[in-house]
Amino acid sequence: MTRQADTLPGVMTEGAAPTVEELRALLDPARMPRHVAVIMDGNGRWAANRGLPRVAGHKKGMDTARDLVRQCARLGLEALTLYAFSVENWRRPMDEVGALMSLLTLYLRKETASMMEDNVRFSTIGAVEELPKAARAWIDKTKAKTASNTGMVLNLALSYGGRREITDAAKRFARDVEAGRADASSLTEEGFAGYLDTSALPDPDLVIRTSGEMRVSNFLLWQIAYAELYFTESLWPEFDERAMLTAILDYQGRQRRFGKTGEQLGGKR
C-alpha cells in the first residue's frame, strides 16, 4: 500500500510536507533496492481528467519516464524496468498503438545522449520483433550506442507478457534437453531463471504501480515472487521525484523476511 510523504517519520514539521531534499536525506544508501520495476499506469485517465486526447497523456508519461530514469541512475540503482507496452496492449485502437510506437522512437532519439551522460545501458525484454521497423531500428541503435556503459540498466518491457516469457523459457529449455545440452532431471529454479529474458538482471526488489490499480497485470510473474509491492493513487504523469523517493523510503521501512521470522532477523515478528 502507499504511504504519503507527510507520514514518513522524522520528516514532519507542523504538518508541512517534506521537501525533496529532506526525503533524499532520509534514504539509507545501504538499503537501496538493486532493481525497481514500474507498471506505468494512468496516462489515459490523466488526459481525460484534463479534457485532452489520450495521446497527450502518453506524451506527458514519456516525460515522467525520462525524469525517472535520470533520477534512478543518479541514485545508483542497478536496474530499472519500465512496463512500456504489454502484449495485451496490441488490442488497443490502432491509432493509439501507432502513437505509442512513435513516442517510443521519439524517446530513444531524444534520450540516448542523456543515457550516455548518466552511464545508462539500454536493454529490452519481450517480443521486440513484433514492433514496427522504425522502432526496432532505434532500439538496436540505442543498445549499440550504450553497450559499453557500466551504470544502471534501463530495461524496457515491450510487447511483453509474463506468462509468454515463462512459456518461451520452457521451450528454450526443452530444446536444450532435446539437443543434449541440458538435463531435465537436474533443473533448478536458478537454472530455469537463466532461460528468462531477464537472466542478466537481479530480480526486482520493488515493484511500483501507479493509478490506484492493485494488480501486476502479467508483469515479471516469475521474477517478482519476493518483490515488495507498492501501489499509489498517483497517475503515471504525476509520479514525480517526490513520489519515487517516498516509494523507496516505504520500501526501506519494510522487513524482508524471505520465509524467516522477524525474530530470526533480529526485528519484530
Q: Considering 6, 28, 41, 183, which one is annotated as catalytic?
A: 41
User: Does the annotation mark 197 as catalytic?
Assistant: no
Q: What angle do CA 180, 183, 186 make, to 5 degrees?
A: 165
Q: How far is it, in rounded angstroms, from Cα 99 to Cα 86?
A: 15
Q: How far is it, in rounded angstroms, from Cα 35 to Cα 80?
A: 6
Q: Considering 6, 49, 89, 218, which one is annotated as catalytic?
A: 89
Dig out the grid coordinates for 61 from the structure. 508519461
User: Does the annotation mark 41 as catalytic?
Assistant: yes
Catalytic residues: 41, 89
